[in-house]
A and B are shown apart, each in its own frame.
Chain A
Amino acid sequence: MMASSYSAKDEDGHITVSGPGGGTLRNKKPENTAFKQQRLPAWQPILTAGTVLPAFFIIGLIFIPIGIGLYVTSNNIKEFEIDYTGDDTSSPCYNCAKNFSWNNTKSCTCTIPFQLDQPYESNVFMYYGLSNFYQNHRRYVKSRDDSQLNGNIDSLKKPSKECEPYASIDNKPIAPCGAIANSMFNDTLTLFYNDPNGTSVPIPLTSTGIAWWTDKHVKFRNPVGTNSNLTAVFQGTVKPVNWHRPVYELDTDPENNGFINEDFIVWMRTAALPTFRKLYRIIQKKNTMAPTLPRGNYTLVVDYNYPVRSFEGRKRMILSTISWMGGKNPFLGIAYITVGSVCFFLGVVLLVIHHKYGNRNNSANISN
Chain B
Amino acid sequence: MDFSLLRNIISRYCVGEEIWVDSRTVYIGHKEPPPGAEAYIPQRYPDNRIVSSKYTFWNFIPKNLFEQFRRIANFYFLVIFLVQLIIDTPTSPVTSGLPLFFVITVTAIKQGYEDWLRHKADCSINECPVDVVQQGKVVRTQSHKLRVGDIVVVKEDETFPCDLILLSSSRSDGTCYVTTTSLDGESSHKTYYAIPDTMAFRTEQEVDLLHATIECEQPQPDLYKFVGRINIYKDKEEPVARPLGAENLLLRGATLKNTQHIYAVAVYTGMETKMALNYQSKSQKRSAVEKSMNAFLIVYLCILISKAVINTVLKYAWQWSPDRDEPWYNHRTEHERQRHVVIRAFTDFLAFMVLFNYIIPVSMYVTVEMQKFLGSYFISWDEEMFDEELGEGAQVNTSDLNEELGQVEYVFTDKTGTLTENNMEFIECCVDGNVYIPHAICNGQILSAASSIDMIDSSPGGYRREYEDLFFRALCLCHTVQVKEEETVDGIKRGIHQGRPTSFYISSSPDEVALVEGMKRLGYTYLRLKDNYMEILNKDDEIERFELLHVLNFDSVRRRMSVIVKSSSGDYLLFCKGADSSIFPRVVSGKVEQVKARVEQNAVEGLRTLCVAYRRLSQSEYQEACHHLMEAKLALQDREQRLAQAYDIIERDFVLLGATAVEDRLQEKAADTIESLHKAGMKVWVLTGDKMETAAATCYASKLFRRTTQILELTKKRTEEQSLHDVLFELNRTVLRQRSISGLSVDCLDFGLIIDGATLSAVLKPNQEGAGHGNYREIFLEICRNCSAVLCCRMAPLQKAQIVKLIKASKEHPITLAIGDGANDVSMILEAHVGIGIMGKEGRQAARNSDYAIPKFKHLKKMLLVHGHYYYIRIAELVQYFFYKNVCFIFPQFLYQFFCGFSQQPLYDTAYLTLYNISFTSLPILLYSLVEQHVSMDTLKREPSLYRDIAKNSLLRWPVFLYWTCLGVFDAVVFFFGAYFLFDNTTFTSNGQMFGNWTFGTLIFTVLVFTVTLKLALDTHHWTWINHFVIWGSLLFYVIFSLLWGGIIWPFLNYQRMYYVFMQMLSSGPAWLSIILLITVSLLPDVIKKVLCRAMCPTATERAQRVSSVQVLEDSLAPGSGGGGGGRERDPLHPDRTCEGDSGKKAARSSDSLVPHSHSTLLSKP
A interface residues, Cβ below 8 angstroms from B:
1-18, 21-22, 25-26, 28-32, 36-49, 52, 59, 63, 66, 70, 123, 125, 127, 129, 133-147, 150, 160, 162, 164-166, 179, 182-183, 209-212, 214-215, 218-219, 242, 266, 269-279, 282, 307, 310-312, 320, 322-329, 331-332, 335-336, 339, 342-343, 346, 350, 353-354, 357-358, 361-362, 364-366, 368
Contact = CB atoms under 8 A, between A and B. Distances in A.
Given A138-B905, A328-B986, A365 B1103 contact: yes
Given A30-B393, A37-B382, A219-B1049, A212 B993 contact: yes
B1060 A4 contact: no
B707 interface: no
A42 B994 contact: no
Q: Which of B74, B931, B1056 has the most CB of A within 10 A?
A: B1056
B589 to A, nearest CB: 50
Contacts of B848: 9, 12
A15 B281 contact: no
A46 B1021 contact: yes
Contacts of A140: 329-330, 903
B121 A15 contact: yes
Q: Which of B252, B329, B933, B1141 has the most CB of A within 10 A?
A: B329
A25 B392 contact: yes
B181 interface: yes
B330 A183 contact: yes
Contacts of A182: 329
User: Nearest 10 A-B pairs (CB), nearest first?
Assistant: A183-B329, A327-B987, A272-B1000, A16-B182, A25-B391, A125-B992, A138-B903, A272-B997, A269-B996, A36-B381
B351 to A, nearest CB: 9
Contact of A272 (B330, B983, B1126): B983
Contacts of B392: 25, 28
Q: Which of B397, B933, B1054, B1068 has the most CB of A within 10 A?
A: B1054
Contact of B997 (A37, A165, A270): A270
Interface of B: 50, 52, 67-68, 71, 74, 90, 103, 107, 110-111, 114, 117-118, 121-122, 124-125, 128, 159, 181-182, 252-253, 255, 275, 278-279, 281-282, 290, 323-324, 327-334, 365-366, 368-369, 372-373, 377-378, 380-383, 386, 391-393, 396-400, 490, 848, 870, 899-901, 903-906, 931, 933, 936-937, 978, 980-997, 999-1001, 1018, 1021-1027, 1049, 1053-1057, 1059-1060, 1063-1064, 1068-1070, 1073-1074, 1077, 1080-1081, 1084, 1087-1088, 1090-1092, 1094-1096, 1098, 1102-1103, 1105-1110, 1125-1126, 1129-1130, 1137-1138, 1141
B290 A18 contact: no
B1077 A339 contact: yes
A141 B391 contact: no
Contact of A165 (B159, B331, B900): B331
A136 B899 contact: yes
A3 B122 CA distance: 21
Contact of B905 (A48, A136, A146): A136
Nearest to B279: A13
A116 to B, nearest CB: 18
B992 A17 contact: no
Nearest to A362: B1126
A2 B1056 CA distance: 37
B366 to A, nearest CB: 7
Q: Which of A127, A165, A166, A323 has the most CB of B within 10 A?
A: A165
A262 B905 CA distance: 26
A48 B373 contact: no
A332 B1070 contact: yes
B903 A134 contact: yes
A1 B71 contact: yes
A13 B128 CA distance: 16
A21 B181 contact: yes
Contacts of A209: 991
B1129 A329 contact: no
Given A14-B50, A21-B255, 20 more contacts: A5-B67, A8-B398, A16-B253, A17-B252, A28-B391, A29-B383, A30-B393, A32-B383, A36-B381, A49-B1091, A127-B994, A134-B900, A139-B903, A140-B330, A142-B1055, A218-B1049, A272-B996, A310-B323, A332-B982, A353-B1092
Contacts of B124: 18
Contacts of B1049: 150, 218-219
A329 B1001 CA distance: 19
Contacts of B90: 138
Given A125-B992, A266-B994, A271-B994, A353 B1095 contact: yes
Contact of A322 (B377, B386, B983, B987): B987
A30 B381 contact: yes
B378 A139 contact: no
Contact of A327 (B373, B986, B1027, B1074): B986
A277 B985 contact: yes
Contact of B1064 (A36, A38, A212): A212
Contacts of B985: 129, 275-277
B900 A137 contact: yes
A342 B330 CA distance: 45
Contacts of A364: 1141
Nearest to A310: B323
B639 to A, nearest CB: 28
Q: Which of B931, B982, B1091 has the most CB of A within 10 A?
A: B1091
A190 to B, nearest CB: 19
A273 B1106 contact: no
B829 to A, nearest CB: 14
B986 A326 contact: yes
A10 B279 contact: yes
Nearest to B67: A5
A72 to B, nearest CB: 14
Given A7-B281, A8-B397, A350 B1091 contact: yes
Contacts of B937: 38-39
Given A1-B71, A38-B931, A46-B1106, A326 B990 contact: yes
Given A36-B381, A138-B905, A368 B1137 contact: yes
Contacts of B986: 326-329
Contact of B1056 (A17, A46, A146, A346): A146
Contact of B1024 (A42, A165, A331): A42
B991 A322 contact: yes
A7 B990 contact: no
A49 to B, nearest CB: 5
Contact of B993 (A41, A134, A150, A279): A279
21 contacts: A7-B282, A28-B393, A38-B933, A44-B1021, A44-B1108, A70-B1073, A129-B985, A133-B329, A134-B903, A139-B332, A142-B1055, A182-B329, A183-B328, A212-B1064, A276-B994, A277-B994, A322-B989, A343-B1080, A346-B1084, A361-B1098, A368-B1130
Given A22-B181, A26-B391, A47 B1091 contact: yes
A271 B397 contact: no
B996 to A, nearest CB: 4
Nearest to B1026: A40
Q: Which of A166, A276, A342 has the most CB of B within 10 A?
A: A276
A150 B1048 CA distance: 13
Given A350-B1091, A366-B1126, A46 B329 contact: no
A368 B1138 contact: yes
A320 B386 CA distance: 75
Contacts of B52: 10, 13-14
A327 B986 CA distance: 6
Contacts of A9: 279, 281-282, 397, 848
A44 B1023 contact: yes
Nearest to A155: B1054
A158 B995 CA distance: 29
Contacts of A326: 986-990, 1068-1070
A326 B993 CA distance: 9
A360 B857 CA distance: 40
